[in-house]
Chain A
Amino acid sequence: MPENVAPPSEERIAYLESLVGQARIAAAVFTQYTQEDVDRIVKAMVLAGLDQAQYLARMAVEETRLGVMEDKAVKNMVATEFVYNYVKDKRTVGVIREFPDSGLVEMAEPIGVIFSITPITNPTSTVLFKCIMAIKTRNAVIFSPHPNAWHCCAEAVRIMYEAAVKHGAPEGVFTCVESPTLEDNAYLMRHKTVALIDATGGRGAVKAAYGSGKPALGVGPGNTPVYLEKTADLDMAVVDIITSKTFDNGTICASEQTVVIDDEIYDQVLRKFAELGAHICNEAETRLLGRTVIDPATGHMQPMAVGQKATDIARMIGLRVKSGTKLLVAPIEGVGREYPLSVEKLFPVLAVCRATSADEALKLCVDVNHAGGLGHTAVIFSHDDEIIRKFGDAINAGRIIVNAPGSIGALGGVYNDLVPTFSFGCGTGGGNSTMDNVNVYHYLNIKRVARRTPAHMWFRIPNQIYFNLNAVENLRQFASRSTMIVTNAALEQMGHVDVVRRSLPPETRVHVLAIPDAEPEVKVVMHGVEALNAYAVDQIVALGGGSVIDAAKIMKLKYDSPDADLDELAAPFLDIRKRVVRFPADASRARLIAISTTSGTGSEVTPFAVLTDKVSGRKVTLADYSLTPDVAIVDPQFVMSMPKGLTADTGIDCLTHALEACVSIHASAFTDANALQAIQMVFKYLPIAYAHPRDEEARSMMHNAACIAALAFANASVGVNHALAHAFGARFGVAHGRANAMMLPHVIAYNASVPSKFMPSPNQRAYVAHKKYAMIADLLGLGGHTIDEKVANLVTVIEQLVDQMAMPRSIADMGISKEEFERAIPDLAKIAFDDPSWRSNPRMPLVSELIDLFWKAYYGRTPAKVVSAPPVEQEVEVLV
């Protein structure tokens, strides 16, 4: 409508502008009011409305020639008393609701100026209702009543306005457009000061409201289906339907339109209708009604019938009925254009339709619902809960009224606890923005004040950890009928398996599964699961490095939960607590005891397991605390014979774990305590363990350090160093620890600089990675005056450690050509970015930055020297 409507005259625009100006000032002034102010005003308005309910009803009937005065008086009372009862204790100013647990507070913000269109069918009650809602929410309203109901509406506005202003409401809070035209409505709908259009009325008004481009509450026509099911209380149902359909001569758009009746009760129901004053039409009468009260051209009801008495309609069309007839009941055979009476009829003509089964009845109701009633109202009379549920499921209606009259039931607060309203939202089915019974909350902008809430943190580790020499003897305390030792052939040959076997309780049947000494593949895992099932094991002892322990973790997962889909469980996630794919929670069938034979991965205490996908050359990381072993044994006797290269690689892996956990966004005082301890132990004992492999203390301390570092990263996770190393290691077949060593100096420098993108983290109050590195440098006594110097010193001592262990300082040093590396870079960057490890990095990496880091690692750094300066006295700062 607005696009095609000519603008009003200049004189008329000046008039409309004066209304808008008044409303704008009133809305502005109103923002200063308190809850007590508006509640006081609302109460006064409600009392005024109640006092004038009959007067306004009489005026409405006289002016509109629609409906029943007595019913309109009741509607006016519902619009005041019932609405008041609903809103009186509702908070609509300032803080309206608080959620202490989530730190959320809802606050009310008035909308401002509302342009409101009101209908001819429920004129004064709609005005009373909207006035009360507006004052309760501190809004100003410009009313544009239906032209044929203007006087009674203007009078209702006056009564409300005078009561409101008398009790303190701002002047100009309500105005009413005199002799409103389509041009006026179009102008006001598009006015920049009008914040919301609330259109209750016919299709045209609602469509115009939504077409204006303004936020709108447009609620329009319906077509209420009723299912009268065989288990219903028929006496109650018939009375309710007559009450509802004749209430105000059927002008409420929620009133019953077509009643679908089960075959078994059909005749009985029609007799009851007749007994209570309905006229049951024969076929000819039904045809007569269909071609007279429904416009054959449009298929919509004829205005001349709207709101008229049944006897008057009968007289108009030449139908002979008894005097006092309340309702014309017209049997129809189906729904659609060939059955004109199956549409909305806002007058006391009711279509009825026989259904031979519940399914047919539901389908007929769906047909009525789709014949102009989508989103509005539906009614069912039944005592069969399953049928009621099916009806609710099948019908698209904002109000599904059960065992009560449709019109009065939908108004709310009388027959049920629906919110009292005179505006029925019909949802998207009806082209509306809401499906609710429109109420005060639709007249408010609700602001949400969201306080920063620290994410929950945790420190989850195995139930028991046994450490130091001969800790393996603790196995004896774990009763088991059938134990599987998962290990590799080399460890078996070294006699480690025998040590474990001797430590188990004598009654335990022991089986050994030797798997390849490589990162586990799916087929290895599945073979292991078969063995676990074959021996019905109740205990798994994983004896080995990270690969063996990871394999055992996944075997146990598949043993406990055969249906677990490893590909699905490896789905990426940003936050382990909010991951989409959940690990199965089946009961554990076997205890998992992990005995590490290297001093690096810490897999014996972590919730991670890595699978290698040979096809893609990619590592798949599984992460879930259900993977954490039940018991960890950290016994240095199993690492005394580690070769030097493995000592170096695993030692740097351990250091990387500790450093990354320390600067992780999930770092806590709990993880820091472990990470910092591990870092100190690495710098003290790794060079000794490397240079003197049989040094029992150094081996023991490094073995403990690896476990302690793992306790930190099991809870704080790792970072971008691991993402890079995973990608690089898998592509070029480089040991994990060695791959970490290539990246470590560059990642520290990267994390210590100002990030191009910060990582969102509610638990971090500031960016502290550089300070933490400096703190580590201080802990190691490296000296340095500034944070930059301390970070540089930390990088230098790491490089010196790498040098001490004769490890390469760059990827180029490893003999990988620049051309080969350059070809690999795009894949490396993609795989590294997909790796979940960096999700806890303090700095969010861009792909371009990952590429830059790869190249830095390729070329390596020029050897540096530690800046020698005595450590400075520092104020202790807690950085987590």
Chain B
Amino acid sequence: MTMNETLQEALGNLDSARGELVLDLSSLRRIDSSELRALKNLTKAAKEKSVKLTLRGVSVEIHKALKLA
């Protein structure tokens, strides 16, 4: 499953997330533009649905990209 597919699936599962959704990004070496956009959308949707989105295993490089996006 690609990162984009994972994020799409997570977006679909927000309603059943019971208040918290954890994404493990430890296998992600570099995030691309479409993945970053999808992650931003997921973050926004999670906030709207009061779901706490937790990212695990985020590298420093991806963390910085997330801060800038």
Footprint of B on A, CB under 8 Å?
Answer: 22, 24-29, 31-32, 112, 170-172
Contact = CB atoms under 8 A, between A and B. Distances in A.
B68 A28 contact: yes
Which of A26, A32, A112, A171 has the most CB atoms of chain B within a 10 A radius of its CB?
A32
A25 B37 CA distance: 7
Which of A28, A31, A170 has the most CB atoms of chain B within a 10 A radius of its CB?
A28
A31 B65 contact: yes
B31 A29 contact: yes
A172 B69 CA distance: 13
B34 A28 contact: no
B30 A28 contact: no
A428 B2 CA distance: 52
Interface in B29-69: 30-34, 36-37, 40, 61-62, 64-69
B61 A31 contact: yes
B61 A28 contact: no
Across the A-B interface, the 7 shortest Cβ-Cβ residue pairs: A28-B68, A28-B69, A171-B33, A28-B65, A32-B61, A170-B33, A32-B30
Contacts of B65: 28-29, 31-32
Contacts of B62: 32
Given A31-B61, A31-B68, A112-B68, A26 B31 contact: no
B33 A26 contact: yes
A24 B68 contact: yes
Which of A25, A26, A170, A171 has the most CB atoms of chain B within a 10 A radius of its CB?
A25
A20 to B, nearest CB: 12
Nearest to B34: A171
Interface of B: 30-34, 36-37, 40, 61-62, 64-69
Contacts of A26: 33
A27 B65 CA distance: 8
B27 to A, nearest CB: 15
Nearest to B36: A25
A32 B62 CA distance: 7
Contacts of A24: 68-69
A29 B40 CA distance: 13
A28 B66 CA distance: 7
A28 B34 CA distance: 12
A29 B66 CA distance: 8
A137 to B, nearest CB: 15
A701 B67 CA distance: 69
A27 B66 CA distance: 11
B33 A29 contact: yes
A347 B36 CA distance: 48
Contacts of B31: 29, 32
B45 to A, nearest CB: 17
A17 to B, nearest CB: 14
Contacts of A29: 30-33, 36, 65, 69
A31 B65 CA distance: 7
A25 B61 contact: no
Nearest to B33: A171
8 contacts: A28-B66, A29-B32, A29-B33, A29-B36, A31-B64, A32-B61, A112-B68, A171-B33
A49 B5 CA distance: 36
A22 B30 CA distance: 18
B37 to A, nearest CB: 6
B32 A171 contact: yes
B18 to A, nearest CB: 30
A26 B69 CA distance: 8
A761 to B, nearest CB: 33
Contacts of B33: 22, 25-26, 29, 170-172
Contacts of B67: 28
Nearest to B31: A29
Which of B30, B68, B69 has the most CB atoms of chain A within a 10 A radius of its CB?
B68
A26 B65 CA distance: 9
B51 to A, nearest CB: 23
B63 to A, nearest CB: 10
A721 to B, nearest CB: 50
B29 to A, nearest CB: 9
Contacts of A112: 68
Contacts of A170: 32-33
Contacts of B64: 28, 31-32
Nearest to A110: B68
Given A25-B33, A32-B31, A32-B65, 12 more contacts: A25-B36, A26-B33, A28-B66, A28-B68, A28-B69, A29-B31, A29-B32, A31-B68, A32-B30, A112-B68, A170-B33, A171-B33
A161 to B, nearest CB: 13
B42 to A, nearest CB: 14
A559 to B, nearest CB: 65
Contacts of B40: 25
A29 B64 CA distance: 9
Contacts of A32: 30-31, 61-62, 64-65
Contacts of B34: 171
A612 to B, nearest CB: 63
A609 B42 CA distance: 75
A114 to B, nearest CB: 14
Nearest to B66: A28
Which of B36, B61, B66 has the most CB atoms of chain A within a 10 A radius of its CB?
B36
A570 B66 CA distance: 57
Nearest to A27: B68
Contacts of A31: 61, 64-65, 68
Nearest to A37: B30
Contacts of B36: 25, 28-29
Contacts of B30: 29, 32
A32 B36 CA distance: 12
A527 to B, nearest CB: 72
Contacts of A171: 32-34
A112 to B, nearest CB: 7
B34 to A, nearest CB: 7
Nearest to A30: B65
Nearest to A140: B33
A27 B64 CA distance: 11
A28 B31 CA distance: 9
A250 B65 CA distance: 44
Contacts of B37: 25
A199 to B, nearest CB: 24
Nearest to A193: B68
A176 to B, nearest CB: 17
B50 to A, nearest CB: 25
A489 B6 CA distance: 99
Contacts of A28: 36, 64-69
